[in-house]
Amino acid sequence: MQIANFLDHETAKIDTLIEKQQGLIKLLKEKRQAVISHAVTKGLNPNATMRNSGVEWLGEVPTHWNQIKMKHILIAIIDAEHKTAEYFDDGTYLVCRTTNVRDGILKLDGGKYTNQETYLEWIKRGVPESGDILFTREAPAGEACIVPEEPILCLGQRMVLFKLNKSRMNPQFVLYSIYSGLADDFIKQLSQGSTVSHMNMADIINIPLFETGLDEQDQIVKHLDRVLARYDEVQKNAERTIELIQERRTALISAAVTGKIDVRDWQEPRQLAPELEDAAA
């Protein structure tokens, strides 16, 4: 009983610290999206002439920007094979699944790989190349990332590949646009606000975004890369802090239940009455 009381008290304090870090991460993600949304729908020039965007929640956009749909900037859109590729422990070709694409990043943790024979079969519809965009149709719908130079990959189920007209659009600008809120708003409209479990190709090509000249796109991308790097660093620190706190929590529980910490004489600290707390402050 004494061990349980001790652990309840100590783990509650630790859990509070974890919740604070999780709250910080949530705020960072919200701020991150706000920064992206402003840059890819308003631009960087505060003195630009503005017009009504036609999107209620968005408000005004620069007059010289055009609202377009994803299909207007695609050279090709490639759907994945509707079957599961065979995985091999010694495979060297990544089968990119929806779980590999999160928050604009290709995540390799837990990646599944296949052999050359399967890879060649899976790229018959189109070869994912550096600078293309990977997009998830479900689980969840609307995640995206840019295809890196490595590893060599093919599409897993429920994945779509965008091949962009790069003479017209900077791939990173398009990726930022997907995460600006425009795509999310579009996806919500498809299901009247409920969670979308699946997006059809006919819907995907109609995802809205705004277009400006390549030079301005490049400037916006450089600005966002610089600003978001700071947010990412703070988030990584918060995530690492959570890991360390969780390790401390596990170690504390282990030490208490194995007797490495003597809690026989432990007493829960008394809470001061409110008036005494005020006086102490």
Per cent of the chain over pLDDT 70 is 94
What confidence tier does 277 reach under pLDDT thresholds 50, 70, 90?
low
Rounded (10°) CA dihedral 10, 15, 17, 22: 170
Burial 223-251 (b: 16+ CB within 10 A, else e): ebeeebeeeeeebeebeebbeebeeebee
Could you give all domains of the chain from N- to C-terminal order, each with its CATH number?
1-65+213-281 (1.10.287.1120), 66-211 (3.90.220.20)
Three-class secondary structure of residue 127 per DSSP: coil
Written in H, E and C, the secondary structure of 232-273 is HHHHHHHHHHHHHHHHHHHHHHHHHHCCCCCCCCCCCCCCCC
What confidence tier does 275 reach under pLDDT thresholds 50, 70, 90?
low
Interval 148-170 mean pLDDT: 97
Q: What's the pLDDT score for residue 150?
A: 95
Query: What sections of the chain are H helices per DSSP?
Result: 2-42, 116-122, 171-178, 182-190, 201-204, 214-257, 274-280
Using DSSP bridges, classify how beta strands 93-96 and 153-155 pair: parallel, antiparallel or unpaired.
parallel
| Each residue's pLDDT tens digit, 28-57 | 999 999 999 999 999 999 999 999 988 888
**pTM, rounded to two decimals:** 0.86
More confident residue, 83 or 1: 83
Per cent of the chain over pLDDT 90 is 80
